[in-house]
Amino acid sequence: MNIPDISNNYEFKLVKRMMMRDYPWIKDVIPSVDDNDEYRAISFVDVLIDPYQLSKEKGFAVAEYVTKLAGMNGLFRSPFLSTFFERNRYELKAIVDEIENKIRTIHDTNTIPREYKNKKKFLPSEWIYHTTPK
């Protein structure tokens, strides 16, 4: 599937809506450009986040280098959510696991007709903080 097909997929829309509703610090979910049908069972998505909103919500300290790098080029990305914060690796892993479990539940449900489902399960590939460069 190409990016427009994934973006219009019913299951993708459910996953995106769930992530943005349940986790207000998630600002957008987009199909990963790197997903080139290389993986048989996974479609990757990029997750645009506001680490400062998550920081306020959970009390995590945003890493200084995130602010510096995002300020220089307007972007900071990582395959690990924990990279954005000073500590709290295990708490952040629990958040990612919770998100992935909810995605799995959507994918495995029998209430969505087969023709509306994606053949592959969606998983976050990158967490991205996008801001205006200074």
Contact between 92 and 85 (Cβ < 8 Å): yes
Instruction: Report the pLDDT value the prediction gives residue 35, as an integer from 0 to 100.
Output: 56
The 10s digit of each residue's pLDDT in 23-33 is: 999 999 999 87
Quick one: average pLDDT of 112-127? 92
Instruction: Report the pLDDT value the prediction gives residue 18, as an integer from 0 to 100.
Output: 98
How confident is the prediction for the chain on average, in pLDDT? 90
Of the chain, the percentage scoring pLDDT greater than 70 comes to: 94
Instruction: Report the pLDDT value the prediction gives residue 71, as an integer from 0 to 100.
Output: 80
CA distance 81 to 116: 30
Q: Domain segments of the chain: what residues?
A: 3-130
Whether the per-residue pLDDT at 133 is higher than 70: the answer is: no
E-assigned strand segments in the chain: 26-31, 42-49, 75-78, 121-130
The 10s digit of each residue's pLDDT in 19-74 is: 999 999 999 999 987 655 677 788 999 999 999 999 999 999 999 999 888 888 78
Instruction: Report the pLDDT value the prediction gives residue 41, as an integer from 0 to 100.
Output: 84
Residue 5 DSSP one-character state? H
Between 97 and 68, whose confidence is greater? 97
Instruction: Report the pLDDT value the prediction gives residue 37, as an integer from 0 to 100.
Output: 66
Contact between 20 and 124 (Cβ < 8 Å): no
The 10s digit of each residue's pLDDT in 70-81 is: 888 788 999 999
